[in-house]
Amino acid sequence: MLNLLGVYLGPDERLMKPQEDNNPRGFWEHQLITDLNDAILARLGGSWHEPPTFFPGWESAPELADLRQRARAVINEDFAAAECWGWKDPRTCLTLPFWQRLSPPTRYVVCLRNPVDVAHSLQRRDGFSAEKSAGLWLTYMASALAHTAGQPRMLVFYEDVMWNRQAELRRLARFVDAHDLAESDATQSAVREFVEEELQHHRTSVIDATDDGTLPFSAKSLYVTLRLYAELDRDGVGGRSVSEAVLRDCVDRLGLYAVTAQTELDRHRAALAESEKETSSELERHARELADKEAEVEAARQACAGLSAELATTRSGLDAREAELHQGRELRDQLSTELAAARASLALGEAELTQVCELRDRLSAELAAARTSLDVREAEIRQVHELRDRLLVDLEAAQARANAAEVGMNAIEEQRAVLEGHLRAIGTRAGCLGLGVRLFLGARAHEVIGRIYRSIWRAPSD
């Protein structure tokens, strides 16, 4: 309908293709924008049916920089030349802060559908439970209200479009300033052809939704409040007791309260589920313990039967043991007699042992004396060895001195031979001096000889 009122939704080749078994008239969703929304949710750790936790300022996170560039490219390529443009994608309820940074001032058309019908549709298409579907409806609606608070916003109910398409067409035309297009025959015919009753697979009234037991109270209250707000926003309503701004503020606040209430409910349900899980685990543990005890009892019964059989066998054996005991007593008496004889013999042996001990003591004393004498002899032997070692040392020293004396004697012999040569020379000289010289050699012979030696030793230098 917005497309018929002049809102450009993008090139036809960019729009998501219809599906015969789901939406044969087409989805009218821009495929690239839908892909970007899926990528944003995936980057934040979620998906369209498992919304992530949005941290403060997530829309400006550096991790989404490439996605922001892709989004700008889509806007510039597909919508830059359009005067009035927009797109349709339920995921935008969650990702709207991302797009608000990139798009110019925007008007918002929030499309709603009865949450009971939404649950039926999701159950048929995706197999979701009624509880999960209601939670998704509440999350999407609360996010859409929170992100569009204070902005130009219009609520359009799917059921109203199906029931009174002309009135809803005029409301949309008034919101987007397209009155003339809404009244044209071409637009009226196209809307009449497009909106078909059979496209709505499930239709539930407001009363039925309020009375539905599977729908949480937070979703019911928000849906009923939005229905009342939309009714007050229609044409021909006058005499309101509160202003439109106050109504919008109430709707925004209720959306936030509904999310808080649903979050608290989910927390209690999770705690209850955890408690049930723990209780179930405890019961299973007790059941296992009981089974173990029963097994132990059965084992004890079997053990008792075995013990009874062993007792009968033991009793038979006991009779045999009593007979053996009688024989043992007789043997004991015999052994007692033998023991008395052995004790007498032991007494004699003890007397002999005493003598042996006395002999041992005397031998021990003699052995001690012998050891003392041996110690003295060993001391003397050590002294002898020490004396031998000293004599060997002295002998070696004397041998060394003898060797040195022999060397000295050899040197003296050599000197003597030299002296004899000198003496022969002296004899030759003395023969020339005659008998006069010999007379002076009497009393002072040694002195003269010494002088001759000195003169001989000086002669080579002369």
What range defines the domain where residue 257 resides?
Answer: 12-277
How confident is the prediction along the chain (462 residues), in pLDDT tens digits per residue? Answer: 888 899 999 999 999 877 666 555 656 899 999 999 999 999 999 999 999 999 999 999 999 999 999 999 999 999 999 999 999 999 999 999 999 999 999 999 999 998 998 998 899 989 999 999 999 999 999 999 999 999 999 999 988 888 888 888 999 999 999 888 888 888 888 888 877 654 555 567 777 777 787 888 888 888 888 888 877 766 544 334 334 564 556 556 656 656 666 676 677 667 777 877 877 787 788 788 888 888 888 888 888 888 888 888 888 888 888 888 888 888 898 988 988 888 888 888 888 888 889 889 988 898 899 889 888 988 988 898 988 889 889 888 888 888 888 888 888 888 888 888 888 888 777 666 655 545 555 556 667 667 776 776 665 544
pLDDT at 32: 96
- CA atoms 338, 343, 348, 352: torsion sign: positive
User: What's the rounded Cα separation, in Å, for the pair 454 and 462?
Assistant: 12
Residue for token pair 């039925």: 208
The answer to whether the beta carbons of residues 184 and 102 sit under 8 Å apart is no
In a domain, 207, yes or no: yes
pLDDT at 115: 92
As for how many domains the chain has, the answer is 1
pLDDT at 446: 64
Beta bridge pairs of residue 154: 109
In a domain, 7, yes or no: no
Letter for the amino acid at 184? S
The answer to whether the beta carbons of residues 147 and 140 sit under 8 Å apart is no
Q: Which are the contacts of 134, defined by CB distance < 8 A and separation ≥ 6?
A: 115, 118, 119, 214, 215, 216, 219
Residue for token pair 């050899």: 410
Residue for token pair 């230098």: 461
What is the per-residue burial (b if ≥16 Cβ within 10 Å, else e) of 249-267? eebbebbeebbebbeeeee
User: What's the rounded Cα separation, in Å, for the pair 138 and 223?
Assistant: 9
Please state, in angstroms and as integers, the Cα–Cα distance from residue 225 to each residue in 70, 151, 230, 231, following that order: 38, 19, 9, 10
Question: Assign residue 129 a region: left if phi > 0, alpha if psi is -120 to 50, beta otherwise?
Answer: beta
Please state, in angstroms and as integers, the Cα–Cα distance from residue 54 to each residue in 41, 46, 110, 435, following that order: 9, 10, 21, 153
The answer to whether the beta carbons of residues 7 and 85 sit under 8 Å apart is yes
Q: How far is CA 310 from the centre of its chain?
A: 57
The answer to whether the beta carbons of residues 92 and 37 sit under 8 Å apart is yes
Beta bridge pairs of residue 156: 111
In a domain, 17, yes or no: yes
Residue for token pair 């939005």: 226
Of 118, 91, 108, residue with least CA distance to 35: 91
Letter for the amino acid at 325? L
Q: Containing H/E element for 413?
A: helix 244-433
In a domain, 111, yes or no: yes
Phi, psi (5° rounding) for residue 108?
-120, 130
pLDDT at 410: 87
Does the predicted model carry a pTM greater than 0.85? Answer: no
Instruction: Give the pair of three-digit tokens for residue 216.
Output: 């949480």
